[in-house]
Structure 1
Amino acid sequence: MVKRVSLWNAGCPVARSLDAIGDWWSLLIIRDAFDGKRRFGEFQLGLGISRGVLATRLRDLVKRGIFETGPASDGTAYREYVLTAKGCGLFPVIVALRQWGEDFLFADMEGHSSLVDREKRVPVARLVVHAADGRSLDWHDTEVTPDRVPARGVA
């Protein structure tokens, strides 16, 4: 088995992000948390993942500050996994993956789940990257520049 190489010290934000949440089980656990799952058994049942793999992934996600654990909201002895602010910040990532999958990984007329606005019951709008002045940007409108130290909260 190949040992996983850490990308944590990479100078690229994409590499560091993948180091934190880049395996498919972690992303699917996070997706399920956005869908309301909070307990170990709920994640396991929904994903069909082994207890050992799930325990390892959840422990890592807690260690990385994506989830925190707390007492069950119903007062039972169970523990629940709750997304932190850092974890909630992954919502646009999950939406982007979903929309990319809808665009490129399903045949015409093939059924799949949909993300809808809970209040209006209509599909969520497509994600678009915008310039600071509001213009829509595509990949060819951007470039990566080295050695920039952004102000906190600015990408």
Structure 2
Amino acid sequence: MTAGKIGDDGFEPRAMFAEPKTFAAVGSLPAPRPGVAASNAQYRAAVLQHVAARAVREQLRHRGTNQKDFFAKLSHIRGLSVGRVGRLLRGEQLATLEDIALWFEHLPEGLDRFSSYVANWDKTTKDMIQRQRQELREELEREREQGR
């Protein structure tokens, strides 16, 4: 059984976050939902999609357009229908590598942000795991103090 909410094309990426509405809406990395480790493969995939979707949204904003208008012009390309891209950019549906490649083919300026995250993946994941462990230690300490 998978940790995320299941959709037609796999799990729902934003369901992996403690605050699902932060998907592609915040520049920082959203914390995993309770019970999901930062090292969880689905959580890490959701973060990759979050970073890519955030980069796409930023590039659309820099170009002075919105996703509906931009992707409507590309809807003849398989996988780039306005509705599907909207679900992907909101984290309601799992993006494929092909999806992300197509986004950056048409919005190449966003690739820098995505590449930077991938280049620092190991450090980012280690930092997040360390924060998660610290939060768990603090929670256990509070429980011990309350039990006294």
TM-score, scaled to structure 2: 0.31
User: Greater helix percent: which structure?
Assistant: 2
User: Greater strand percent: which structure?
Assistant: 1
- The answer to which structure, 1 or 2, has the higher relative contact order (CA under 8 A, 6+ apart) is 2
